[in-house]
Amino acid sequence: MSRPAAEQAQVIVVGAGPGGSTAAWHLARQGLSVALVEKSEFPREKVCGDGLTPRAVRQLVRMGIDTSAPGWMRNRGLRFVSRGRILELDWPESSAFPAYGLTRTREDFDQLLARHAEAAGARLHTRTKVTAPLLDRAGRVVGVSTTGPEGRERDFTAPLVVAADGVAGRLAVSMGIERLKKRPVGTAVRRYFRSQARHLDPYLESWLDLRREDGRILPGYSWIFPLGDGRVNVGLGVLNDSRTGSMQTRRLLETWLARTPAAWGLREDGNADGPLRGAALPMGFNRLPHYRDGLLLIGDAGGMVNPCNGEGITYAMESAELAADVAGQALARPAGPARERALEHYPAQMAHRLGRYYRLGRGFSALMARPAFTSLVTQNAVRSPAAMRFMVRLLSNLTDRPGTDAMDHLVNALIRVTPSPADHAGRFAGAPSLRRSRSRVPG
Ligand SMILES: Cc1cc2nc3c(=O)[nH]c(=O)nc-3n(C[C@H](O)[C@H](O)[C@H](O)COP(=O)(O)OP(=O)(O)OC[C@H]3O[C@@H](n4cnc5c(N)ncnc54)[C@H](O)[C@@H]3O)c2cc1C
């Protein structure tokens, strides 16, 4: 069978998770021709807690998605449980963010976003796996090779490629952009349970005193997120750190679930809906640089999960919107130095918007890896509603900028005094040099 002619686009987006579909939607809305290439077929599962904070809701609203339609489950805030104490906090009042969060299974959510991108004009190719970047003589990405349904091979060409292929970041790896080993990574597992007692809870519940069998408190939290369809998403996430040792997350989850009241039904026997599944959480910009040689990294591919709370969907969508905006500006310039200057704006802006905050978050996660600090926090946090309100704004990145009250001012000042990391854009020193030949996408 002869190889079909390459499909041409102005931008190729690899991966139709929340990052990829959001990027494709924003690109298509600018009138650009976009190929959105996804290896699986929708609907498909993605391991996730399915929780969306007000920051993520804002991104959905910006894309014209009706979050009052059936299928969305609203929540009004967070309930914290720690050492026998319980504290409920509504999401903060804010001018930038709505005062509600959402849940929706990723099986639904990702399909909805991909269809939304398609409706805006993006050409969605499912069951099409990217196997290698196509490089020109100078080593610049000018497309991708794919294997589609029935093993059909096809190339896609474009002056720009967006890597939205998730935590493994295989496209980036094939370009020599490796994970930064010193940056934090989490491990998270989740499972669905049928729970009449909990599926309509108006709060996202989070247990802070996650314990190992020997009683040691761990850096992380467990959750019960109501889905409103008779089920809850139950899971936990912990930081991987040399000091915390290897985590047996399955055992941890079982130990924790055994602590929940039997009436909630979070037990293996009969109520579990599907298997336990887990994946890594790439945090705090653990893959850099975010742009090089025609390839823009967004979401998990760029290690963009918030190190403070493990939230990744918001940052996949925010980076996607910025990447699309920058790509539109770049493509309006002639190929060459002027276009490159426009593209360098993407990593610089990512660093500007989140660099200090993620640096602060990395400091926080390093502290949380110390048992004495974790123990102190879990012992005392829930005692003080004011302290927890502060923590919610800080850890969920939910302040107005400029701030509108004293708490906002305090959080914003803390971020402002955090030194800016020197590892972005052209100043990034740790990136290995680009391989000049066309290399396969590993795995
Ligand atoms: C257990 C767990 C719980 C979590 N809970 C939450 C939560 O409650 N809230 C939250 O905000 N975040 C949560 N996260 C993080 C969140 O899931 C990710 O940050 C988010 O999915 C990142 O989106 P993305 O679009 O960057 O990547 P992904 O969602 O991983 O999408 C990548 C896409 O690329 C496709 N792909 C990969 N390789 C190729 C290829 N070679 N060719 C074509 N397509 C390819 C994949 O099939 C996939 O569709 C959780 C993560 C885990 C593991």
| Residue found under tokens 């390459």 | 6
Q: What does the block give as tokens for 334?
A: 């002639």
| Ligand 1 interacting residues, C-beta cut-off 6 A | 14-20, 37-40, 46-51, 129-130, 164-166, 170, 188-190, 235, 278-279, 281, 299-301, 305, 311-314, 316, 441
CA of 245 to the centre of ligand 1 (A): 25
Nearest protein CA to atom 53 of ligand 1, as residue: 279
- Who contacts 98 (Cβ-Cβ below 8 Å, separation ≥6)? 54, 57, 58, 61, 91
How does pLDDT run across 179-220, given as a tens digit for each residue? Answer: 999 888 999 999 999 999 999 999 999 999 988 878 888 889
CA dihedral 64, 66, 72, 73 (to 10 degrees): 100
How does pLDDT run across 157-185, given as a tens digit for each residue? Answer: 999 999 999 999 999 999 999 999 988 89
- Strands 203-207, 77-82: pairing is parallel
The CATH class of 185-282 is: alpha beta
Distance CA 276, CA 107 (A): 15
Position in ligand 1 atom list of the atom nearest CA 167: 30
Of 281, 314, 354, 441, best ligand 1 pocket probe by most atoms within 8 Å of the beta carbon: 281
What is the architecture, at CATH level 2, of domain 7-75+102-181+284-355+421-427? 3-Layer(bba) Sandwich (3.50)
Q: How far, in Å, are 36, 281, 299 from residue 309 at the CA level? A: 29, 11, 15
Per DSSP, helices labelled H in 178-267 are: 249-257
Nearest protein CA to atom 35 of ligand 1, as residue: 15
Q: What is the CA radius of gyration of the chain?
A: 22
pLDDT at residue 436, rounded to an integer: 39
Q: In this structure, are residues 224 and 216 in contact, taking their beta carbons and an 8 Å threshold?
A: no
- Who contacts 10 (Cβ-Cβ below 8 Å, separation ≥6)? 27, 32, 33, 34, 158, 159, 160, 331
The SS3 call for residue 292 is: strand
CA of 410 to the centre of ligand 1 (A): 32
Closest CA to 398 of 120, 422, 388, 110: 388
Of 73, 224, 313, best ligand 1 pocket probe by most atoms within 8 Å of the beta carbon: 313
CA of 46 to the centre of ligand 1 (A): 7
Of 145, 290, 300, best ligand 1 pocket probe by most atoms within 8 Å of the beta carbon: 300
Q: In this structure, are residues 19 and 301 in contact, taking their beta carbons and an 8 Å threshold?
A: yes
- Give the residue ranges of the chain where pLDDT is below 70: 1, 241-247, 423-443
Sketch the domain layout of the chain as residue ranges.
7-75+102-181+284-355+421-427, 185-282, 364-417
